[in-house]
Structure 1
Amino acid sequence: MRAILSTLLILLATAAYAGGANQAAPDPDPKPGAETAALPDKAAGQACANPDALGVSRTVEVDTTGGPGFGMEHYKAYDFLQDKEVVLTFDDGPQVRTTTAILDALEHECTKGIFFSLGKMAIGLPNILRDVARRGHTIGTHTWSHKDMRKASDQEAKDEIEKGVSAVARGAGAPVAPFFRYPYLRDSKASLAHLAGRNIAVFSTDVDSFDFRRQSPDRLVKATMERLNKRGKGILLMHDIQPRTAEAMPALLKALKAGGYKIVHMTAKDSLQTLAEYDALIEKDVKGLPAVGAERPMTSIIRTVPTE
């Protein structure tokens, strides 16, 4: 089911870009800038407007040297979360309506997450991905096309990883975090070695929301909280391409606060540099999207003038 949904959405997003659908979420001022490690947070320096917000209890910075693994389902070396602490993570986006709805819910609660973007989706809908960055969330990568790494050759796996990195950085308009999550959570020995050599941290999960399953938003919240309460803390896996997740997000965030949970925002000590050969390799798929640092902000091109 995950594979079918992901493939359909990738095809839709890629086709839509060619037809101008990247304008579905207009970006008033992309401000790419290759010299920065992240796009500016539009809320930076502003106090939270919601006095009852879930917020962020602490921000942790990760030194990704050697490719450490996080998420006790697969990588059991770094159990850094305290009781009742949660990391919010979202895979497979960006997507036109759902990602924006999730961003709005997170912003209302003044909290942050990690978005593991697919390369094809990122270059198909760059304005939405740039909104993710501007709102202060961490952006990681999730391969180019959601290929199962255990079914790929060593070279295919490397290509999937690096094309994904180049495309997500191109879509975001700035370097992204050296954070990676495997499609289907299925790693391989060779790809793990490649990630370690590139100093890219690998993310599994502690609690899976299973939001790809057919269920109501209310049931999704209830089932997710039951799994989280059983474990007591953890990295929570969700998908920002899922309409039910977008619909459930406000209620889920309220349930987390009511349950005494606190959000931990994970950031990276260093940004991830793309490889030139893969930057060139994705050019045929970019369809005119400017390179990082090459795009002028819209406010320097378009302005409203007084009428006489």
Structure 2
Amino acid sequence: MRRFPVLIVAAVAVASGSVFAVAVKHFLGSTAVETTPTAKPELITGSIDARWPKPGAERHTAIAEVAPEVAVLEAEAAPEPKKRVVVAKPACNNPNALGVSRTVQIDTMGGPGFGTSQYRDYDFLQPGEVVLTFDDGPWPVTTPTVLAALKAECLRATFFSIGKHATWHPEVLKQVIAAGHTVGSHTWSHQNLAHKSPQEAQDEIEKGMSAVAMMAGTPIAPFFRYPQLRQTGNLKAYLAQRNVAAFSIDIDSEDFKIKKPDVLVSLTMAKLKKKGKGIILMHDLHKWTALAMPELLAQLKANGYKVVHVRAKDTLDTLPEYDAMVAAAVQPAKSRKARAISAVMQTVD
């Protein structure tokens, strides 16, 4: 069907950098006892150098560029979809902030792929532009510290959240949503899908999407990133059928193995200088990544790079059967009642 561009002006909200100092102080000075589940050893992340066949969809159907002050939506002759994303783009009170240079809106129909490590059809970035992406959250302390660094520079990023982690820390996920960032999914438990049967892999994807959407308390973007970037042809076709966009990368920060913030920053900037632009992969699960963020953003600004925010035209439709699975998994934890203090401890002497 024919589509006609319609311009709607997007509003802007303000973000202050003062929260970052508080977050870092808390991060460095906290001695609280860990009461949340620890990260699983299966969280092995990184990039692979793979090439996949180009999707047949034409370029203009997947990407709509959105200027800093204007959002571009597409009106169709047919009735409007059930859900349409309209996000106010906040202005920035910090005159020296890096800020968002432009916003790109993605039409996920047919499951387009982004990131030249694996996909070549839809390279929407201009020289000197970057997209900031974070995998494996939400996680206490580290994710809020990343959020504070982004807020200080009036930036928006894309977070690919793990379903289990979302059920463990829904309050952190809600902070990501409240800050205006784009949220996609990263499976239920970060399994290598290439080692799973087609049905097992689909279950991992769908359960993860349902969990993130449910814990967010609001519809999320139909954006997905494969754990370890391990895609299969069957899953590529499945995401296309589900109208979910797959996000690969251009630049791997290698923060899954580099644990020194200064080395992490220098390596990422060196790769970016060589590449000239790209979707950057990081992990908000790691404390060294959280601590590296202020300097990384300062380096991006000092070297003239521009940050692009990506968002989806429409929101994700989760499947009821997987919503039910997640609800069943979460309910027992919620229904457990803490014992009375007197039943746990008593003065005996």
Same fold (TM over 0.5): yes
Change (3 A) 1:107 1:9: farther
Matched, 1:89 2:133: yes
Instruction: After TM superposition, list the pairs within 5 Å mapping 1:206-217 onto structure 2.
Output: 206-217=250-261
How much has 1:37 moved relative to structure 2? 6.4
Change (3 A) 1:46 1:193: closer
Superposition RMSD in Å: 2.1
1:175 and 1:9 map into 2 onto residues whose CA distance is 28
* 1:147 corresponds to: 191
Structure 2 counterparts to residues 113-192 of structure 1, below 5 A: 113-192=157-236
Aligned-pair CA distance for 1:215: 3.2
Query: Of the candidates 105, 109, 117, which is equivalent to residue 73 of structure 1?
Result: 117
Consecutive unaligned residues in structure 1, runs of 5 or more: 11-34, 291-308
* Aligned with residue 110 of structure 1, among 150, 154, 164: 154
Secondary structure at the aligned position of 2:122 is classed as coil
* Structure 2 CA distance for partners of 1:9 and 1:52, relative to 1, 3 Å: farther
Cα shift at 1:36: 7.5
CA distance in 2, matches of 1:113, 1:289: 31
Instruction: Specify the structure having the higher radius of gyration (Cα).
Output: 2
Aligned partner of 1:258 in structure 2 is 302
Cα shift at 1:232: 0.3
Counterpart residue number, 2:326:
282
Q: What is the percent sequence identity of the aligned residues?
A: 55
TM-score normalised according to structure 2 size: 0.71
Partner AA of 2:270 in structure 1: E
Gap change, CA 1:269 and 1:186, over 3 Å in 2: same
What TM-score do you get using the length of structure 1 for normalisation?
0.80
- Cα distance in 1 for partners of 2:90, 2:98 equals 16
AA at the equivalent of 2:327: E
Displacement of 1:284: 2.6
Aligned to 1:249: 293
Q: Secondary structure at the match of 1:57?
A: strand
* SS in structure 2 at match of 1:7: coil
* Distance change in 2, residues 1:93/1:176 (3 Å): same
- Aligned positions of 1:268-307 closer than 5 A: 268-287=312-331
Aligned residues between the structures: 259
